[in-house]
Chain A
């Protein structure tokens, strides 16, 4: 737990701006891909909170992981996460990212995403409805506004620990040491 530091006026403005404009990089691995189009389009319209989809990892603020991650896809997710520009946040969507969900005894999926990437907020459910997706995004926005969404700092400080965990599951490691 990183203790709360006193912020000056510029940092407060920074946090306010990043909380009001969140660009999503959606990594749709499982059934979560189905829940996101209604979240974006007319019915639930997440754009009214300033949340918009981003084209590439370089432009995105949030990495939204919707569902189970196999060991092969975990490699790609790590790569995409490290290409994003900080401040960056990770959302784990669905129970698959929390405890493995219905894949808990699978031989090639990871069970807890938090061991490999610093997750800022979880959205539980199988699958969460668009309402809860938007609710989770708004909750994240509140956390950012309070200056407490420091997952990216945690990742940089504890890179060794995360790398060790990642290398434990990814047997054939061919990523560069840190590709930011």
Chain B
């Protein structure tokens, strides 16, 4: 009955991801001394988008764009173990971290084609910014992961989880801080939250790649964003916080990590594209490089 557990896992991640998006809106409202929308507001938003009567299309690639996004996010999720129980380990194999890192880029690249067919100048500007940002944060992220792979002597996610077993002092966030710092700074860029929301800057380029998408297309993109966001947090829990024995534990740990980009995003204003690239290729990459050299010499 592996397929049942897989489908249940995807649905559960989807529901939790949309809940986190709504909770984020509520928390940021409270920080700004507002009352804020109800926490279930994002479910209503997605339901409304799915019930729109007309949906404009600009061609086949335009239709496929949200599908690419959803495929990329579900594909990423399937390779990441949600909890270390027999049923929820999914399709792990040796070397799956490298495949995960490829799949994480798949959605953005497919969506770049779709936004280009929309022929909206804001969309094209947003896509060029998104791909530049992608190239920027991949470097510290990969440096962090390479240190973990050297430490565990394996490129398999389940091996990395089992290397962190036995007490929280064995978690890589404490055992390898020089890998955790660049990776967690890269997480800020991945989430597209405030200091690095360069691709969708609503005040500058009118939500960038999403400018031409409305109705059911936008509903599908919001759904895939919820899944993809949660999948990335689950990946980080597995890499740095020692994974989880059961789903409840995983929900709690994802919530803890999720607070970090949220609060950083509430405090800092947006970078320019060049500033973001300079930031990611500066201090975080340097820390990662130093960690790599120290680990090499040891």
Which positions in A face B, CB cutoff 8 Å?
A: 13-14, 17-18, 20-21, 41-42, 45, 47-50, 52-53, 55-61, 83-87, 180
Taking a contact as CB atoms under 8 Å apart, the answer to whether B47 and A59 are in contact is no
CA distance A17 to B219 in the complex (A): 13
- Quick one: given A18-B51, A20-B44, A56-B206, are A50 and B211 in contact (CB under 8 Å)? no
Taking a contact as CB atoms under 8 Å apart, the answer to whether B36 and A48 are in contact is yes
Taking a contact as CB atoms under 8 Å apart, the answer to whether B37 and A48 are in contact is yes
Q: Pick the contact of A21: B32, B44, B56 (CB < 8 A).
A: B44
CB distance from A102 to the nearest CB of B (A): 31
CB distance from A134 to the nearest CB of B (A): 12
0/1 interface trace, chain B 28-70, chain A, CB 8 Å (1 if under): 0100111111100100110110011111100000000000000
Closest 6 CB pairs of A and B: A58-B214, A55-B207, A14-B51, A17-B48, A21-B48, A17-B47
- Note all chain A residues with C-beta closer than 8 A to B197: none
CB distance from B130 to the nearest CB of A (A): 15
Taking a contact as CB atoms under 8 Å apart, the answer to whether B213 and A42 are in contact is no
Taking a contact as CB atoms under 8 Å apart, the answer to whether B37 and A17 are in contact is no
Taking a contact as CB atoms under 8 Å apart, the answer to whether B210 and A50 are in contact is no
Taking a contact as CB atoms under 8 Å apart, the answer to whether A47 and B29 are in contact is yes
- Note all chain A residues with C-beta closer than 8 A to B48: 17-18, 20-21, 61
Which positions in B face A, CB cutoff 8 Å?
A: 25, 29, 32-38, 41, 44-45, 47-48, 51-56, 122, 202, 206-207, 210-215, 218
Taking a contact as CB atoms under 8 Å apart, the answer to whether B210 and A45 are in contact is no
CB distance from A79 to the nearest CB of B (A): 14
Taking a contact as CB atoms under 8 Å apart, the answer to whether B34 and A55 are in contact is no
Q: Pick the contact of A85: B45, B55, B122 (CB < 8 A).
A: B55
Q: Is the interface of B mostly helix, strand, loop or mixed?
A: loop
Cβ-closest chain A residue relative to B202: A55
Cβ-closest chain A residue relative to B212: A58
Taking a contact as CB atoms under 8 Å apart, the answer to whether A56 and B36 are in contact is no
- Quick one: given A17-B44, A20-B44, A21-B45, are A85 and B215 in contact (CB under 8 Å)? yes
Cβ-closest chain B residue relative to A44: B34
Taking a contact as CB atoms under 8 Å apart, the answer to whether B41 and A50 are in contact is yes
- Note all chain A residues with C-beta closer than 8 A to B54: 85-86, 180
CA distance A20 to B49 in the complex (A): 12
CB distance from A105 to the nearest CB of B (A): 36
Q: Pick the contact of A41: B34, B36, B38, B45 (CB < 8 A).
A: B34
CA distance A168 to B53 in the complex (A): 30
- Note all chain A residues with C-beta closer than 8 A to B52: 85-87
24 interchain pairs (CB within 8 A)?
A: A13-B51, A17-B44, A17-B47, A17-B48, A17-B51, A18-B48, A20-B41, A20-B44, A41-B34, A47-B29, A48-B29, A48-B38, A50-B37, A50-B44, A55-B202, A55-B206, A56-B212, A58-B56, A58-B218, A59-B207, A59-B213, A59-B218, A86-B53, A87-B53
CA distance A91 to B213 in the complex (A): 23
- Note all chain A residues with C-beta closer than 8 A to B210: 55-56, 59
CA distance A20 to B41 in the complex (A): 8
Other A-B pairs, 15, CB within 8 Å; known A45-B36, A53-B202, A85-B56: A18-B51, A20-B48, A21-B44, A47-B34, A48-B34, A50-B41, A50-B45, A55-B206, A56-B207, A58-B213, A58-B215, A59-B207, A59-B214, A85-B52, A85-B53
Taking a contact as CB atoms under 8 Å apart, the answer to whether B214 and A85 are in contact is yes
Q: Pick the contact of B35: A48, A53, A60 (CB < 8 A).
A: A48
Cβ-closest chain B residue relative to A45: B34
- Note all chain B residues with C-beta closer than 8 A to A52: 37
- Note all chain A residues with C-beta closer than 8 A to B41: 20-21, 50
CA distance A84 to B54 in the complex (A): 9
CA distance A28 to B123 in the complex (A): 23
CA distance A37 to B24 in the complex (A): 21
Cβ-closest chain B residue relative to A10: B51
CB distance from B123 to the nearest CB of A (A): 10
Cβ-closest chain B residue relative to A14: B51
- Note all chain A residues with C-beta closer than 8 A to B213: 58-59
